[in-house]
Amino acid sequence: MSNDHNRLTERPDHGFGRSRGGLSTKTHALVDGQCLPLVTLIGPGHAGDNPQAVPLLEGIRVPRPVGRPRTVPDELRGDKAYSSREVRTWCRKRRVKVTIPEPADRVRNRKRKGSKGGRPPAFDEQSYKGRNVVERRFYEFKQWRGVATRYDKLSVVFRAGVMCKAHGHLAEAFIKHTLGDHPPCGDGLNVTVISRWGGAGVIDQPETSARPL
């Protein structure tokens, strides 16, 4: 069971995973080309990144002045963790440009098969340099202690803190747009960037937790 589609429902595992360091949580996020957060999800720290890609993409809702909200970007950037057939198929059906590098093992397997391995997926190295916007957004998120280190038992509460921080960034961008110093919110949807960060999951142990990065 998961709450990837109903984010108001608590996850059965509370978004905790176990690793060598103990309990851990992973925050998955999708931002636009202007570094503004669009969608966030919470998952266990030991879980894979790729299964969260499609739920993140399906959660895009950017309001328009008239008509239905926009739900599909023009381009998706991500690292090798999101290079899967599922993600590429989802994007291909919706005519979304994919800028995700292939893992080295898949490149070797394709070359070993020769002509039967098919053509390599298109990859724009120049466009990929813009993937740093999501890392910059995570840096801003982690300036808040309540997000950098988790103290909440419930995943919906922890995600609410992430959303509060995200809405703060959106409000700041709206003010800058009003003053003419920033493009309108959602204008960067021509490019969406996907990534994640993992943090220690700590409950009622503030004296042993790590400080924000």
pLDDT single digits (tens) 81-122: 888 889 999 999 999 999 999 888 888 888 888 887 778 888
Question: Is the distance from CB of 194 to CB of 128 less than 8 angstroms?
Answer: no
**Closest to 98 in 3D by CA, of 30, 196, 188, 192:** 192
In total, the chain counts a number of residues equal to: 213
Residue 6 lies in a domain: no
72: closest CA among 90, 84, 89?
90
For residue 160, tell me if it sits in a domain.
Answer: yes
Could you tell me the residue range of the domain that residue 110 belongs to?
Answer: 17-208
What's the total number of domains in the chain?
1
Mean pLDDT, residues 138-145 taken together:
79
Query: Is position 85 within any domain?
Result: yes
Q: How distant, in Å, are the alpha carbons of 12, 95, 162, 198 from that of 90?
A: 27, 9, 27, 25
pLDDT at 184 over 70: no
The confidence band for 8, taking pLDDT boundaries of 50, 70 and 90, is low
Helix axes 155-178, 132-141, angle to 10 degrees: 110
